[in-house]
Amino acid sequence: MVVDFNTPAACVYFGSSNLALGGEENNGDNLVCVKDIDIATVFAIEAVRLIDHYEFRAKQTDPQGNVKVLTLDKTSGWAMRYFDKNDFKYVDRTLFAATADGPTPPV
């Protein structure tokens, strides 16, 4: 679990714990906390990379399991997800590339 990766309070929790009381009391689960902004940033970047990877893999097949050919969108339509407040790509953009006024969507 990555907490506040882009702040001085950044930390990463990891270990065998699933944060359930039973495991903590009966199984000897462990949980380690590392308080370091650089390490938290690396973990956060890896989490985003994995999400993007699995999203790409999911788009390679249709619901019946058939392989689809993926092609690049030659319009600016692909970028609109980064400006839709209901899309997780918007969070990516505002978290990783935010400016005072914010970038404007492509035309």
How many Å from the N-terminal Cα to the C-terminal Cα in the chain? 37
Same domain, 50 and 15: yes
Neighbouring C-beta atoms of residue 80, cutoff 10 Å:
14
Task: State pTM to two decimals.
Answer: 0.67
Q: Which residues lie closer than 8 Å to 40 by C-beta, 6 or more apart?
A: 2, 3, 4, 5, 10, 11, 12, 34
For 30-88, the pLDDT digits (tens) are: 889 999 999 998 999 999 899 889 988 888 888 888 888 888 889 988 899 889 999 98
- Write phi, then psi, for 47 (nearest 5 degrees): -60, -45
β-strand pairing of 32-34 with 11-14: antiparallel
Structure tokens at 68: 């689809």
Number of domains in the chain: 2
Q: Which domain holds residue 80?
A: 71-107
Res. 107: pLDDT tops 50: no
Res. 3: pLDDT tops 70: yes
How many Å apart are CA 14 and CA 33, to the nearest integer?
7
Same domain, 75 and 39: no
Same domain, 36 and 79: no
How many Å apart are CA 95 and CA 99, to the nearest integer?
10
For residue 33, list its beta bridge partners.
Answer: 13
